[in-house]
Amino acid sequence: MATTEVADRKKVARNTKVKKLLEYTGMLNVADSLKEEELREIGVLVAEEYEIDKQSRVEWEAQMEQAEKLVRLLMQKKTWPWDGASNAIYPLLAQACVQFNSRSLPLMMKGQRAVKCRVNGPDPQGAKAKIASLVSEHMSWQLTDEMEDWIGEKDAMLLSLPAYGCAFQKVYRDIPNQRNVSEYYSPLDIVIHFKARSLSSAKRITHVFELSKREIVERQRAGLYLEDVELGHGDSEAKTGELREKEPSYVILEQHRWLDLDDDDLDEPYVVTIHKDSKKVLRIRPRFNEQGISITADEKRIAKIKPIQYFVRYLFMPAPDRNIYGWGFGQLLLHPNHILNSIINQTIDSGTWYNTTAGVVSHDIGIGQGTVSFAPHELKVSQNNFDDITKKIFMLPAREPSMVMYQVLGLLLESFERLGNSVDVLTGEHSTANQPASTTLALIEQGMKFYKAASGRLFKGLKDEFRLLFDLNAKHMSMTQEQFFRLFETEDRAISGMAYNTESLDVVPVGAAEEITVVEKLIKAEQGLAAAKEMGLPWQYMREHYRRYYDALNVEDIDAILPPPDWQPAPDPKAAAEQAKVDILAQDSKREDLRFGVELKKLPYELTKLKLELLEMKEDIKNKGMKEQVNAAVKITAAETNRKKVEADKAKAEAAAKKPAARKKESK
C-alpha cells in the first residue's frame, strides 16, 4: 500500500464520526445498540418503501406470472365452450428458454476451468502471469469443488433468465463454513423500484425469502437476530408453510438500503432485516468497511461512503424503457404464445365437435333422460314405437376444422419461432449437405446475431460476479492463503500474498461470447488448420493451429498430446524414395553434361586443323600443274565435305547437350 494511502487511512480512523461507524462494523447486529422506538420507525419505513417498490412493478409481475405458467406448461381445466374443452399450450416460450440454457451452459466452462485472469500493466519477468495462472486455477477450484452448488445454480439461472429478462446472484461470505457463496434468486424475489436504472443507483434492494421457526430461532441464538421479538404463529402468505403445517414459516424482508444512524445528515449503507407482517426489525448490519469511507479536506466530516455490493444482475436484453428488470422472452413471446394456444385450442375443439354428435331429442323417444351416449357397436332399445324416429331427433350442424385457420397457424408459427430464435442451422432444420464450411459458418453467424448479443450480456454478468468473489478472497486472505498452500503445495507466502491484488489482475470468464457454439468454433479451427497446411508452415507454427483444433474438440491436456515446438517430423518413406530417384536422374544428367562438354571442347581444335590443311592444299595447287591441280581440287572437295561433316557433328552435339539440361530442370 502506498505511503499516502496509509496516511489517508490513519486520518479516516482518527475521525470521531468514523470511529462510531467502525464500531458498527464490528457488531453482529447493530440493532442491539438502538432504542426500541428507533427500531419501530426503521421497521415501518422498510415495510412501507418495500410496498412502494413492489407497486411500481405490478404490471411486470402479472406478465411474469403468466410467462412462468407457459414455461412450466401448467395446463388448467377449461369450462368454456364446454366442460373439459381443449387447453393445450404450445411450447414456444419453453422451447426458446430451453435452447438458450442448453447453448449457454457449456460456454461457461472449459473442462474444470471457469475463471481466467488477465494481467494489468507490464510484466517483463512473467511474475504476474504466473500468479494469474494460480488465481485462475484457485478460483475455478472454488467454483467447481468448494462451492458445490455453483454449476447447479447457474443451470437454473440460465433457464429463467431468458423468460424473465434478468436474474440475480447473491454473493457473500459464509463465515461459519469459511467459504464463498453465490446463490441464484428469481427477479420475483428481488424487489427493486421498476424505474431504477442499475443496482448501484437503486435506492433500495429488497430480498424476499421465507424462514421456518427453527431457522429463526437458530439465528437468534447465534446473535444474528434480536431475541425479544414475537413473530406470531406463521404467515398465511408463506408458501413453504403450506407443505408443513406443524412448522410455521415467516416471510422475511432483507432490505439493502441507506439510513442515517450517526445523525450527521449523511445516510450510510446498511442491510436491514425485518419480519414482513409484524414489521419488526430482526437485524441491522453495516454494508461498508473502513476502506470505503472518505472524509472531507478539513477532516471533520464524512464526505462519502462506498457501499459493499452483494447482488449481481444478469441481463438478457435491455427494456425499451430501460427499467431495472430488462426484457426477455416472457415479454416478447407472451402474447404470440397466447395467440397460438387460442388457435390450436379452437382447432382441436372444432375437431372434437365435428367427430362427435350433439343435438335435441324428443322427451318421448323412450331411451332415457339426460345425456345419451353410445359405445361402438352398441344398440339401444326404445320403449316406444315410431314410424320415423328421425323426426324425434334434431342433430346440431357441425363443420370440419377450418383450413384457413390451419394456414394462419402455420404462418404465425414460422414468424413467432423465428422471433424465439428456434429455427436455424444449429437445430438441424436447415440443410447443409454438400455445402462449404465457409457457407455453413456464415449461416450460423447470421442466425446467431441475436443470441450473441444476449450472450455478451451474460458474460458481463459473469465478470461482475467473479469480481465480487475475487474481492471476497482478497478480504479473507488468511483463509485463501491456506487453500493456496494445500492446492498448489507451496509455502511461498509472497506469491499467495500477491495473488489477489486488484491493481495487477483482472478476472474474466474463461469462455468467450464470440465463440457461441462448438460447431462455429470447430469450423474456424478447421479452416485455420487447412490454410496452414497449404502454406507448408513449419511445426513451430503448425502446433498452435493443432492446439486450437483440439481445443475446439474439447480435448483435455493438449500439451501432453502435441510434440514440443522444436520437434522435427520423421521423413516420409515414399517421399524419400522419390527423392532418391530424383537424385539419380540428376547425377546421370551431370555425367552427360561432362561428356558433351568434352566433345564440344574438341571440335574447335579439329576445325582449326582442317582449315590449315585446306590452306596448304590451296598453295600446292598454285605450284603444281593442271594434273596436280585437278587432284588438289578433288582433295579440296573432300576436305570441304569433311569440314561440313564436322560442323554438323558439332551442331548435333550442342543439341544433345541441351536435352540433359532440360531433363534436369523437369526433375526439379
- Asked whether residue 292 is assigned to any structural domain, the reply reads yes
- Asked whether residue 355 is assigned to any structural domain, the reply reads no
What is the pLDDT, as a whole number, of residue 89? 93
Separation between Cα atoms, residue 471 and residue 473, nearest integer Å: 5
* pLDDT, mean of residues 479-490: 68
- Asked whether residue 543 is assigned to any structural domain, the reply reads no
Highest mean pLDDT among 71-75, 113-117, 159-163, 579-583: 159-163
Cα angle: 624, vertex 628, 631; to 5 degrees: 145
Written as one letter, the residue type at 65 is E
> Which of 29-38, 55-64, 73-82, 301-310 shows the lowest mean pLDDT across its residues?
73-82
- Asked whether residue 558 is assigned to any structural domain, the reply reads no
C-alpha cell at 317: 436484453
What is the distance of C-alpha 347 from the center of its chain? 40
C-alpha cell at 513: 461470447
pLDDT in tens, 176-191: 888 999 999 999 999 9
pLDDT in tens, 121-142: 887 777 888 888 888 988 999 9
> Which pTM value belongs to this model?
0.74
What is the pLDDT, as a whole number, of residue 426? 44
- Average per-residue pLDDT for the chain: 81
pLDDT grade for 12, boundaries at 50, 70 and 90: low
Separation between Cα atoms, residue 38 and residue 662, nearest integer Å: 106
C-beta of residue 498 within 8 angstroms of C-beta of residue 129: no
pLDDT grade for 119, boundaries at 50, 70 and 90: confident
- Asked whether residue 661 is assigned to any structural domain, the reply reads yes
Overall domain count for the chain: 2
| Residue 308 pLDDT > 80 | yes
Chosen domain end from 273, 307, 332: 332
* pLDDT, mean of residues 199-227: 94
- Asked whether residue 506 is assigned to any structural domain, the reply reads no
> Which of 63-72, 155-164, 192-201, 618-627 shows the lowest mean pLDDT across its residues?
618-627
pLDDT grade for 567, boundaries at 50, 70 and 90: confident
What is the pLDDT, as a whole number, of residue 596? 66
Q: Which domain holds residue 600?
A: 574-667
- Asked whether residue 388 is assigned to any structural domain, the reply reads no
The DSSP secondary-structure symbol of 261 reads S
Chosen domain end from 332, 352, 382: 332
> Which of 64-68, 337-341, 437-441, 593-597 shows the lowest mean pLDDT across its residues?
437-441
| Residue 425 pLDDT > 70 | no
**Angstrom distances, CA of residue 295 to CA of 40, 307, 613:** 31, 15, 122
Q: How buried is residue 127: exposed, middle or buried, by Cβ count under 10 Å (0-12/13-18/19+)? A: middle
Q: Terminal CA-to-CA distance of the chain, rounded, Å?
A: 69
- Asked whether residue 180 is assigned to any structural domain, the reply reads yes
What is the pLDDT, as a whole number, of residue 604? 72
pLDDT grade for 450, boundaries at 50, 70 and 90: confident
C-beta of residue 476 within 8 angstroms of C-beta of residue 176: no
* pLDDT, mean of residues 190-216: 96
Segments in 2-149 forming alpha helices (H): 3-14, 16-25, 36-55, 58-72, 92-104, 127-141
- In the block, cell 326404445 appears at 382
Separation between Cα atoms, residue 36 and residue 522, nearest integer Å: 65
Regarding predicted confidence, which is higher, 429 or 413?
A: 413
Secondary structure tally for the chain: helices H, strands E: 20, 14
What is the pLDDT, as a whole number, of residue 377? 78
Contacts with 274 (C-beta within 8 Å, 6 or more apart), sequence order: 43, 46, 47, 252, 253, 255, 280, 281, 282
What is the pLDDT, as a whole number, of residue 438? 55
Regarding predicted confidence, which is higher, 652 or 92?
A: 92
